[in-house]
Structure 1
């Protein structure tokens, strides 16, 4: 067994020999560098700090500056040493980054690899140094290396990590805007050998997508199509990082949603419809998230409804009612809610029986699903008297909503349940007259003990909720429940009190 003290002694002797050297003779320096490197590769505790404190960093910088044949080994020593955060500032002060930068233009792939690792580790989480790297034209060089050596996976990983660390800088995005970064990333996305690489590329795309210029570049360079292909390829993968990667693309894809949608004929949109119909949960989730993003545009909502996407979403939701995937239910309801925003869609969805079909989710015990279901139903009845009347007289629905009005552990569910009760009353009347059907809704809500949550809601800290509750209570108060169905508005003109503004 190797004696640990022997390794420590050998490291100390090597450092002392380098320190006392007056000339950098390669034959003499080589074995000492070997000793330093071996200690670092063996992860000897305190080795990096010991090397840093020995005072040899200027010697290493001088070796790099002199273009010595040992430069590649020195770069590797620095890279291994810079794994330790405690030595990075000393490396910067010794000008090691400055001396390493020219080696990024080497045609030696090992030199590029060692240099990239050394610079990346020294500058990790150091905004000032990263800005200086951008100003030193590191960005175009990283892309050039990726184009020159597309099959060198270790080198590609180093370049991608560097881009990932720099991608949040405005200066880096500005530098990339004039370069064809989309083509480079798309190429690598298509050939990514593992989930870690895919995840890294997705992080870069997500950060760079904050730039409007780069977002447009991505849309025009096939990034959405490449992401779509990647999602297909991930079917059945169980690796956690792969699973996370399959959930990220919808957000990236639909930054360029109009191009992807293509009036319902886009390749990516057609893929999304197939994801919804897949038996793979990850694909179903990606599909539902995608539709929710497409549905942020009213024109898209109307077109998708015409193309029958609601049927696919409802079928998907029904598959996950009992012991299904909560994320899929949540995403599917988000998509339905967005689709129901345009007024013309509400009527069509009501005619298609959407409200009846999604009521099957009332059985859910998951607060995120309950919250989204309540919001979806509220959006469905917004401005739609028929929908409000249909749901407002449903005793099963009202019973469940009342249970959620008492949800102790989820304020969001309580709030949405109360808002739905208010919406059922507010939208169950014609604009200018109180009706027999409104009387039935108010009676049903009253029988379900729904007035108390509305009173509580009227004291909410949120003004919108206060107004909604007060309007619903004013409408309910205008109904003389003790008589047949005669509205008190027949005796007193209460229309000003039940408008859209409260006095």
Structure 2
């Protein structure tokens, strides 16, 4: 073979075209397993203006470029420039071979892709655009593969092709070859993968992923039995599924139902990381689609929707991803009270509580995901007032209470929200929980030892709701003596959320009223009310009231104004507390309240408060 190659070199030096053709044919016949150390002969061959030589030369280059060693040596600006120029040749075989050569040279070769970008890819794109002028799709398939190689390694080329309006071209080609789907699956795979890779740049380049284009991908997804094509379609859907119009189209076109059937068909073949990743993506897509309100309502269909029924079956799955997806999907369906009420009547909450009892002390990663999903869904189900009593009777508190030992704060956040929702208006449940010292201590621990902002915000709200809903002053005797419980509620006064401010005003007001009304002995020598006053002063209630009145006093709603005034009345009934408020300069900022029209309903009380503060 080396003799033949040397003969080729000699022939090119003398420009003996017949000898060149003869040696090129011998190389192709005997094999192309040659390591190219010098590219001079190739450059010469590509400059010869004879189609037969160009055809044979480009075919050989394509073969030589299959090895990493030759690919590196062929990464030459002059060679790539010649090959790119040949894409304009009238001989289809030369164009085809040139595309093959470029594709093999650029395979996993960023340097070669940079050279293509430098030279420009207009003639590559033109081949795609001129597809309708050809009777054979092989050239379109080959150039699509080349384009895919290029954009996979070069961000700049992805932007360039988008600027050259490649998306309408891809759409036109997919529509055309969809009609002969079975014969053109490789081409469609290339086109879909190009589209998938370009989607990351759509927003940046102001390109729209239209519903028409999405519908086309859906049609391909429905028709295909090719797993590779199905996965690419899935990636496209997943990447665009945050858009409401895309979610709605996917829901309407039955993508969730199809995904369920595909998972059912292939789940037993999920045995490695790659296949597991695809399964998770399919599951995620179902959940994401259901985050759309219209999608959720359509697919629930009064509890008879196929997707809803399918998700219920996954509650019995032994696959953690399918189980968590089923739970999260049910949670998304449970965003309407009417759905929640129907689900609880049909035993869904009981099923979920039973499931949670199997996971309420687990610490494994997959188990934590299931805990999070179960708590999210149960929290939604207990929101309607009609559901609370039944879910409590089904044992929710007993099942979630052991979870207070958990330190996984994403789960803790959902746990706190579930506790808070289920005690709303449920006196006995609230009284039970607020009477448990270990529970109060754990809440305080989470409040001051978590870096999760949601947890730190939920703890004081839960404490405030316990105070409000227990309808008893008796547990206050324990509450104020648990370290930092009062402080936790007091600090919520300075929240930037008006709802939380109001909850803090009301809860602290109730603590004052309750502690003043208590006639029982307490563990310390101080009276209960003195302990409360000590706690609110230590929590610097004056500073927090100064902040909230100064920032929000002029625009507080009626409920907040009324509860703040009532709280100030309680505090100012005690000398030490009054002294504390005066030292916090409440008298200066309180004047802002006079500008709030909602203060008129409590003008007499407000006047007395300002008088005391200014004494």
The TM-score, its normalising length taken from structure 2, stands at 0.69
Contact 2:416 2:458 in 1 (8 A): yes
- Structure 1 residue 14, shift from structure 2 partner: 0.6
2:221 aligned residue: 185
Contact 2:74 2:105 in 1 (8 A): yes
The within-5 A match list for 1:360-379 is: 360-379=402-421
- Structure 1 residue 165, shift from structure 2 partner: 3.1
The within-5 A match list for 1:300-311 is: 300-311=339-350
Contact 1:225 1:268 in 2 (8 A): yes
- Structure 1 residue 461, shift from structure 2 partner: 5.7
Q: 1:178 to 1:357 in 2, by over 3 A?
A: closer
2:566 & 2:219 partners in 1: Cα distance? Answer: 53
2:479 aligned residue: 445
315-324 or 162-171: which moved more? 162-171
Q: 1:330 to 1:309 in 2, by over 3 A?
A: same
5+ residue gaps, structure 2, are 3-33, 522-527, 530-559, 569-592, 594-615
Cα-to-partner distance string for 1:344-363 (whole Å, 9 max, x where unaligned): 33344334332332223223
Whose relative contact order is higher, 1 or 2, with alpha carbons under 8 Å and at least 6 apart?
A: 1
The within-5 A match list for 1:395-434 is: 395-429=437-471
2:470 & 2:190 partners in 1: Cα distance? Answer: 62
- Structure 1 residue 179, shift from structure 2 partner: 5.1
1:15 & 1:36 partners in 2: Cα distance? Answer: 11
> Larger % of helix: which?
2
1:397 & 1:105 partners in 2: Cα distance? Answer: 76
Q: Residue 302 of structure 2 is aligned with which of 256, 263, 271? A: 263
Q: Residue 97 of structure 1 is aligned with which of 125, 138, 151? A: 125
- Structure 1 residue 234, shift from structure 2 partner: 4.8
2:284 aligned residue: 248
Q: Which has the larger radius of gyration?
A: 2
Cα-to-partner distance string for 1:395-435 (whole Å, 9 max, x where unaligned): 34323323322324444433322322122113334xxxxxx
Q: Residue 201 of structure 1 is aligned with which of 233, 237, 241? A: 233
1:32 aligns with 2:57: yes
1:432 aligned residue: none
Contact 2:177 2:184 in 1 (8 A): no
Q: Residue 209 of structure 2 is aligned with which of 149, 161, 173? A: 173
5+ residue gaps, structure 1, are 430-436, 489-493
Q: What's the Cα RMSD here?
A: 3.6
The within-5 A match list for 1:96-115 is: 96-103=124-131, 108=136, 110-115=138-143
1:427 & 1:148 partners in 2: Cα distance? Answer: 67
Contact 2:440 2:482 in 1 (8 A): yes
1:500 & 1:214 partners in 2: Cα distance? Answer: 51
1:433 aligned residue: none
2:326 aligned residue: 287
1:12 aligned residue: 40
Cα-to-partner distance string for 1:63-111 (whole Å, 9 max, x where unaligned): 2xx1422222222223334443413423535533223432477554543
1:156 & 1:163 partners in 2: Cα distance? Answer: 10
2:102 aligned residue: 78
1:352 aligns with 2:388: no
The within-5 A match list for 1:114-153 is: 114-123=142-151, 125=155, 126-134=158-166, 136-150=168-182
- Structure 1 residue 128, shift from structure 2 partner: 4.6
Contact 2:103 2:146 in 1 (8 A): yes
Q: 1:273 to 1:130 in 2, by over 3 A?
A: same
How many matched pairs?
A: 479
The within-5 A match list for 1:305-320 is: 305-320=344-359
The TM-score, its normalising length taken from structure 1, stands at 0.82
1:161 aligned residue: 193
